[in-house]
Structure 1
Amino acid sequence: MITNTELEYKGNLYPNEIVDVKQESDKFYFTTDNGVILELTVIRNSAVRFRYATEHLFQPDFSYAISENAIKGFSQLEFRETETEYWVETARIRVLIDKKTLRTQISDKEGNIINEDELGFHWEENYTHGGNSVKMSKITQASESFYGMGDKATHSNLKGKRVNNWVTDQYAYGKDQDPLYKAIPFYIGLHNQIAYGIFFDNTFRTHFDFSHERRNVTSFWADGGEMNYYFFYGPEMSRVVQAYTDLTGTPELPPLWALGYHQSKWSYYPDSQVRALGKQFRKNKIPCDAIYLDIDYMDGFRCFTWDKEKFPDPKGMIQDLEKDGFKTVVMIDPGIKVDRDYWVYQEAMENDYFCKRGDGPLMRGKVWPGVCSFPDFTNPEVRKWWANLYKEMIAETGVHAVWNDMNEPAVMEVPTKTAPLDTRHNYDGHPCSHRKAHNIYGTQMVRATYEGVKKFVFPKRPFVITRAAYAGAQRYSCTWTGDNVATWEHLWIANVQVQRMCLSGYSFVGSDIGGFAEQPNGELFARWIQLGVFHPFCRVHSSGDHGDQEPWSFDPEVTKIVRKFIELRYQLLPYLYTMFWKYSRDNVPMIKSLVYFDQEDPQTHFRTDEFIFGDQILVCPVQEPNAKGRRMYLPRGNWHNYWTGEVVEGGMEKWVVADIDKVPLFIKEGAIIPFYPVQQYVGEIELQQLTLNVYYKQGIEDSTVYEDAQDGFDYKKGGYSLRNFKLNGKEKELIIQQYKDGTYETTYDSFKIRLHGLPFKIKTIEVDNVKVPLDTVRLNGDSTIEISKNFTELHIIGA
């Protein structure tokens, strides 16, 4: 056996023999002879933190990523020593620490190895910047697959890939281009039906090698900072994702209108064009809830100002749009124009809020307004100041939501596309350079924006969007996948990116539908809409310099198709809202890759196209031109074809017909899917009846419908309506039980139950064990039943 002493070469240093061990409650400290300390913290029965110090010295323990609401606690903890190793054991896992090398191995209680060090922790001197580069290498298990890592524009399974995290303004990026706009250093490993996760909480540039350089080794490293990572054990992938998401947090519920269809372009101006856009939506009867204003609404691109020629009365315009059901969303960038007559610049200068270079002068860079200075959003005083800047825009002018762009931060006309690395940051009292703060900068900006929007839209709920993000940014904002391109390849990329982001704890996500750069033809635009309406964030956005990209910009057939699918999204809003509630409360991703849905089926491990929308809807976008259908994989179980009603057995690949006006769409048998009526915007119609689409299954299936006032915070005090349904189908009967919770009273009093795939004719109906005449439930043939929303049990008996 090679010892770590023999591996100290070429500037690489490895821990050697453990000489001291101590325990402090949930923490264990293992110190080596050459000054390495492993701090092992038991977070939960299936979650452990590994943190390494060199030269006997830990850096301050501080993280922007970890949620203050993260659950901690465990039911069992044992520590023991053998001749060659130490053991830390919880109710779910065992951690072995080798006495000679500090290498670790994690197994389940049955002794199955989940994850183990190869060379393990090591470090080397960073001769360019000083300090250490920290590294970790793991043994790749047989047939191991890897998922997660945020917005990587590559295959969903990362086996054989090498990626890095450095948030970057990557205009018109291509497939496999890296890095992009997000830095989410979290991945999921899957082997032998065992899933685990690793979150490397380090904001320096980080690198991950998933058996790329050496096929039996997985490694990750950073250009500075600590080796500080969290380990999560499944064995189900769902438990891994939920544990990571709990650690880094989820957002509060958004206003329901934020889940509607949104329209954006660079740029809609002057105000007459914005008003005309709204009128065109209503004239064409295409639902829309929000219109976006890009940088051209500003006075010379100065944030928090209005161009008085293009927008002489912004408050009046916003009020008029709101009367017609539109919310107004405006862009705010981090770059503040260097202008002594500009009040925002003046305030920042007076209070010393701008970032400085290492040797003293202000950090400056060119962005849209010209030369700009950049607030240091890692300073809590700056965040508080920035939040209050939104008062006039929101509380007085009436803007409903804010979109933070260019917050990597993006800097023009420099090779790095961003701030110089010697730029200094407060980092909440832990001063550092831009090397450490770069990946977190955009998240701290949108955090400040979120606090301001939340303060000034109250008692309504805030809605904020960001382009740049680090792990944990999902607590504050929605996001999108950046400046994509109007190509079929980018349609595929958008699908994979959104699935990957949802696996990475960030579910409130979408893409620029239709592509930001260049111009889609009508077919591509229609196919992208068919994907985008099944993403949590649904927005068309384009650069505008290649032509218009509104739903009616193509031929009438395309307009008809686009209207049909946007209407379907509005019908599905109660289902989508319930998805968000599960994400916010239970850390469940809103979009599920097939491998998440059924990790035991090896056919799912390399699928990229199909995904589960929520828990019970299977979607497979068409991603090639001139297609009349496509081959797709249906996961195990039985599925109802949404368009034809045919029940199809899963666990195999099938050809599915899907001409330009269809997308392959299947409903899990037994599902109860709520539908709202089509409305042109959220709140247009006071709901008189809720439709429940019931998909027959011989067996049991659970479904949930969550509702509240669609805005405000009463839901946190019990002001919600939660309906849990249990469907039990038999050969000639169907039983639906309802369990209710919450104090919110919905505006509707009845359900319209639409039965799909019922294999028998209805003979009798019992409601709460009382047989009722069929005419009292308005039985329409055998397909729909109208019934009070307050039923406890509906029993349908066949002839």
Structure 2
Amino acid sequence: MSLGVRFGLFLAALSCVYLVSGVDRNNFKTCEQSSFCRRCRKVEPGKTPYKLLNTVEVRETDLSGELFNQDTGVAYILRLTGLADNTYRVWINEKNPLHPRFEATFALQSDPVPKKIKLIEQTAEYIVVGTDHTKAKLFFNPFRIDFYRGEQLVLSANARGLMRFEHIRTKPEPKPEGEEGEKPAETNPEFPGDGADSDPGAWEENFKSHHDSKPYGPEAVALDFSFIGAENVYGVPEHAGSFALKSTKKSDPYRLYNLDVFEYEIDDFMSLYGAIPVVFGHGKESGTSGVYWQNAAETWVDITSSADNNVVESIVNFVSGSAKKPQVDAHFISESGLIDAFFMLGPSPLDAFRQYTRLTGSAPLPQMFSLGYHQCRWNYNDQDDVRQVAENFDKYDLPMDVMWLDIEYTDGKKYFTWDTRKFSQPLEMVHNLTEKGRKLVVIIDPHIKRDQNYFLHNDATNLGYYVKHRDGKDYEGWCWPGATSYIDMFDPKVRQYYIEQYNLDKFTGTTNDVYIWNDMNEPSVFNGPEVTMPKDLIHYENWEHRDIHNINGMMFTSATHEALFRRSGGSLRPFVLTRSFFAGSQRYGAMWTGDNTGEWNHLRISYPMCLSLAVSGFSFCGADIGGFFKNPDNELFIRWNQAAAWLPFMRQHSHIETKRREPWVFGDNTLGIVRETLKRRYAYLPLWYTLFREHEISGIPVIRPIWAHYPTESAAFTIDDEILVGDSLLVRPVLEPGLTEVSVYFPGEGKITWYNIDTMQPYKQPGAVSVPVTMERIPVYQRSGSIVPKKNRSRRSTVAMKNDPYTLMVIADDDGSATGTLYIDDESSFEYRHGKYLYIRFTLTGYKLTSNFMDKLATYDTKSWLERIDIANPPKNIKSAQLTSKTLGIVELEAKYNTRNNVLTVRKPGVNMGEEWSIELIH
């Protein structure tokens, strides 16, 4: 094929994928077009053929037994394991499979911690095992598992009888001509089979012009889970829909299949860039429980509810005699792999979230710079453009920590290279940024340009590092460089090679202040089926791509994370941004919600999308400010910045065909509002940093839904236009144009007062309240009884802020009490893991405010000191204050009321944050 023809095909593919406005749904499958989804979804409730033989064996930490499919005669091994922290694992595989099934254990941070279980009861119908606080009841025939918290039934597996485990089989021989009406000779009349062979897509499948050879035939697995007492369920990101999952009774299921879906539609169940197969159910009476379905193949999830009037189908309700109790059911359907499900029994929301991250890990503490503001577009033109933009942030008094470069910085889309004309002095460009405390992030995508003048392509070809067709030939697709191939990150040799490319002596022009963005790692293949890689390609150890698809992007991110760690000799915390992700990806970096659009509905959906990810373990989430596509007007640009300032990852990014998006191009008024928005973001960085450290320790999300802390307030269960930042701040962005007021839901049932952080106006009325808004601010409130650390001095970057003094914003509750925490370290290295940090608890009790170390063995020599204390709802008649510390002794301090907002200010205590102290309020 000539180069001209190849390039023409590439342009055609590109126009189909990226230059057509809106989602072309014809590019993506429906459940009915996916044979395994179609088959599994047709299973009738209440007719399960599976029975558990009563010859089960209970050992120290697990129960093992044999499942039997009475329709097919196939036997399976079942293992139920007790795990630490109110968690169980159920693992099911064929007893004698014809070939191995992929297990997505890469998602786990380590082997789960087992816990002793004991036999509680055994009858002819069931067996019960468990601990002092939880138990699992396994019914033999029909097979079902009920999970109890104490005596309360909270979760059930296969209660609706939708389990399906398609055994691996040999392909049926074609029937001889003239014998179409006869049964195949190998059919056992005692076991009529599961009907999979008769599905037209069982052994090969076509979608548009693409053919899937499906050499192993049908091998789907499916299981239903019932959340007893749950009023809503949450999770299974990534989808551009509501936080509370909707019923799929009259629609396609939610789909988990990592795909490049640009300019995606909202309020939809279509797949996007990432897949985390975890779901949490929550109810006012039942508390919270969760299920993690560990499977990396394409997965569909049906959600049905007692509110759908499907009580007849809800076998659990019938058996338990609780037909009036609310219930939500989730039905997971995966194309291949095995059944490996974890059951997390709560009881509280934070318990369930922690139980999940105990399995898949929490995000490691990021460097402070990554919590600042990031400036990006596709693409900054050259190194002079980068320099000028960075200088303008100083000129216009805007804080900024990171400049980003998209694909055009490379030499012809060849990664680990530079365009020698536009970026001829990359080290100088990097040094210009780092001199002002800033960093650079560059993009590295997984597709490799097929160019004989490209070292990486030549190495991958010669060493056999590419993903291959079944005939052993390298797979070739199309992406940004044109003809591309894809290295196989599941091969340890390839992974090691890839990691080495980030070394400073190989990726010349970079330093330890250059960090990485992994995009297109679903993988995106412009001319592939559903804009991704064919499922019958072969990876390391002969795994088909269908088996590992959803975890493919995570393998690149984890390797990049390791590469940056090694590059610095293990001294600096890596920063990696990924578009594709799976369960456990939170251990390796941040993510963003992909190619959104500069429209109000895309601003609105960014909050429920990030909430869904946060409860699913991935807190480090943000959305492209202003939208990747199209051009926002001034009002939308302002509101998007204001909303983004309260999400963990804050980056502006836009398409190559959009207008320039830097804040100063929108005029002085917009510039001024965005300036104050960014400065507010930076003022609260001590809180963000503390929350990320506490997330690393506990696994509790950084941003949270309201019901995470107010689990009995049913009115909050479906709210997703507000978030809690930690447990202290309540944020309600403005998500529609032209508004002068918005409805804010204040939780706490009147026992908590919420204070506007700008005016200190208190709101104690519980429930939804209409509050006024201006263009300059969005409603943000601090909870009574909390203490929030801040840094109020305006700087150009987080590096410049490092030694700045702290302000404590204290809001006393009705009893005159408040508490808060602050975490301090060097903000960049791993020394904190060796005890080099301060973890401080502040406590106000009546007339005394104290600072005490929560970890007495940790030490860190900080230059920061306490500059100011503001106390809202303060005690009356305070005349002065008295500081007591080891270094300063006893110091008299000025204390003064602001009569306008009833805030008591104690100025310049001057004590170093590295020592314990107390301040007495004198009246």
Do these two structures clear the TM 0.5 threshold for a shared fold by scoring above it?
yes
Query: Is the contact between residue 103 and residue 121 of structure 1 (CA under 8 Å) also seen in structure 2?
Result: no
Q: Equivalent of 1:721, from 838, 842, 846?
A: 838
Q: Equivalent of 2:823, from 686, 702, 706?
A: 706
Runs of 4+ residues deviating >6 angstroms: 7-10, 772-775
Deviates more, 1:137-146 or 1:687-696: 137-146
Residue-by-residue CA offset, 1:485-520 (whole Å, 9 max, x unaligned): 000000111111111110110011111111001111
Structure 1 counterpart of 2:681: 569
Query: Is the contact between residue 739 and residue 792 of structure 1 (CA under 8 Å) also seen in structure 2?
Result: no
Q: Equivalent of 2:135, from 94, 117, 138?
A: 94
Deviates more, 1:639-648 or 1:61-70: 61-70
Q: How does 1:107-256 map to 2 (within 5 A)?
A: 107-116=148-157, 117-119=159-161, 121-124=163-166, 125=196, 127-128=202-203, 129=214, 130-139=217-226, 141=228, 144-161=231-248, 162-177=253-268, 178-191=270-283, 192-211=285-304, 215=310, 216=314, 217-256=329-368
Could you tell me which amino acid in structure 1 is paired with residue 254 of structure 2?
V
Structure 2 counterpart of 1:647: 762
Could you tell me which amino acid in structure 1 is paired with residue 839 of structure 2?
L
Q: Could you list the runs of 5+ residues in structure 1 that have no partner in the other structure?
A: 1-6
Query: Is the contact between residue 363 and residue 589 of structure 2 (CA under 8 Å) also seen in structure 1?
Result: yes
Residues in 2 aligned to 1:625 and 1:517: alpha-carbon distance in whole angstroms: 19
Change in Cα spacing, 1:414 to 1:63, as seen in structure 2 (3 Å) is closer
Q: How does 1:621-700 map to 2 (within 5 A)?
A: 621-636=733-748, 637-676=752-791, 677-685=793-801, 687-699=803-815, 700=817
Change in Cα spacing, 1:267 to 1:64, as seen in structure 2 (3 Å) is farther
Residues in 2 aligned to 1:451 and 1:155: alpha-carbon distance in whole angstroms: 34
Structure 1 counterpart of 2:556: 445
Residue-by-residue CA offset, 1:108-153 (whole Å, 9 max, x unaligned): 2124444352215323447233142111123454563101112211
Query: Is the contact between residue 624 and residue 654 of structure 2 (CA under 8 Å) also seen in structure 1?
Result: yes
Structure 1 counterpart of 2:567: 456
Q: 1:378 Cα shift?
A: 1.2
Structure 2 counterpart of 1:545: 657
Secondary structure of 1:552's match?
A: helix
Residues in 2 aligned to 1:539 and 1:389: alpha-carbon distance in whole angstroms: 26
Structure 1 counterpart of 2:613: 501
After superposition, the CA RMSD in angstroms is: 2.4
Query: Is the contact between residue 298 and residue 305 of structure 1 (CA under 8 Å) also seen in structure 2?
Result: yes
Q: Equivalent of 1:403, from 491, 514, 517?
A: 517
Query: Is the contact between residue 65 and residue 470 of structure 1 (CA under 8 Å) also seen in structure 2?
Result: no
Change in Cα spacing, 1:152 to 1:256, as seen in structure 2 (3 Å) is same
TM (norm. structure 2) is 0.81
How many percent of aligned residue pairs carry the same amino acid?
Answer: 28
Structure 1 counterpart of 2:119: 78
Residues in 2 aligned to 1:13 and 1:142: alpha-carbon distance in whole angstroms: 23
Structure 1 counterpart of 2:907: 785
Structure 1 counterpart of 2:19: none
Q: Equivalent of 2:603, from 477, 491, 510?
A: 491
Q: Equivalent of 1:343, from 451, 455, 459?
A: 455
Residue-by-residue CA offset, 1:754-776 (whole Å, 9 max, x unaligned): 22232513135344599x99983
Change in Cα spacing, 1:285 to 1:120, as seen in structure 2 (3 Å) is same
Could you tell me which amino acid in structure 1 is paired with residue 352 of structure 2?
V
Residues in 1 aligned to 2:382 and 2:348: alpha-carbon distance in whole angstroms: 53
Q: 1:159 Cα shift?
A: 3.6
Structure 2 counterpart of 1:367: 479
Residues in 2 aligned to 1:628 and 1:402: alpha-carbon distance in whole angstroms: 41
Residues in 2 aligned to 1:435 and 1:546: alpha-carbon distance in whole angstroms: 36
Q: Does 1:16 align with 2:51?
A: yes
Change in Cα spacing, 1:257 to 1:752, as seen in structure 2 (3 Å) is same
Deviates more, 1:277-286 or 1:678-687: 678-687
Change in Cα spacing, 1:585 to 1:8, as seen in structure 2 (3 Å) is closer
Q: Does 1:745 align with 2:861?
A: yes
Change in Cα spacing, 1:45 to 1:625, as seen in structure 2 (3 Å) is closer
Query: Is the contact between residue 227 and residue 281 of structure 2 (CA under 8 Å) also seen in structure 1?
Result: no
Residues in 2 aligned to 1:707 and 1:609: alpha-carbon distance in whole angstroms: 31
Residue-by-residue CA offset, 1:42-63 (whole Å, 9 max, x unaligned): 1125100111123455956843
Q: 1:780 Cα shift?
A: 4.4
Residue-by-residue CA offset, 1:357-415 (whole Å, 9 max, x unaligned): 12222111111111001000111211111011011466753251000001110011344
Secondary structure of 1:416's match?
A: helix
Residues in 2 aligned to 1:588 and 1:786: alpha-carbon distance in whole angstroms: 34
Structure 2 counterpart of 1:26: 61
Residues in 2 aligned to 1:613 and 1:569: alpha-carbon distance in whole angstroms: 12
Could you tell me which amino acid in structure 2 is paired with residue 795 of structure 1?
E
Structure 2 counterpart of 1:425: 539
Change in Cα spacing, 1:678 to 1:769, as seen in structure 2 (3 Å) is closer
Q: Equivalent of 1:510, from 622, 628, 646?
A: 622
Change in Cα spacing, 1:37 to 1:480, as seen in structure 2 (3 Å) is same
Q: Equivalent of 1:469, from 565, 581, 605?
A: 581
TM (norm. structure 1) is 0.94
Secondary structure of 1:783's match?
A: strand
Structure with the larger strand share: 1
Could you tell me which amino acid in structure 1 is paired with residue 63 of structure 2?
F
Aligned length: 784
Residues in 1 aligned to 2:738 and 2:823: alpha-carbon distance in whole angstroms: 39
Residues in 2 aligned to 1:70 and 1:690: alpha-carbon distance in whole angstroms: 41
Secondary structure of 1:132's match?
A: coil
Deviates more, 1:394-403 or 1:234-243: 394-403
Structure 2 counterpart of 1:3: none
Q: 1:242 Cα shift?
A: 0.8
Residues in 2 aligned to 1:159 and 1:143: alpha-carbon distance in whole angstroms: 13
Could you tell me which amino acid in structure 1 is paired with residue 921 of structure 2?
I
Structure 2 counterpart of 1:4: none
Q: 1:29 Cα shift?
A: 1.0
Deviates more, 1:287-296 or 1:654-663: 654-663
Structure 1 counterpart of 2:400: 288
Deviates more, 1:127-136 or 1:363-372: 127-136
Secondary structure of 2:90's match?
A: strand
Q: 1:79 Cα shift?
A: 4.3
Q: Could you list the runs of 5+ residues in structure 2 that have no partner in the other structure?
A: 1-41, 70-74, 167-195, 204-213, 315-328, 898-903
Change in Cα spacing, 1:224 to 1:688, as seen in structure 2 (3 Å) is closer
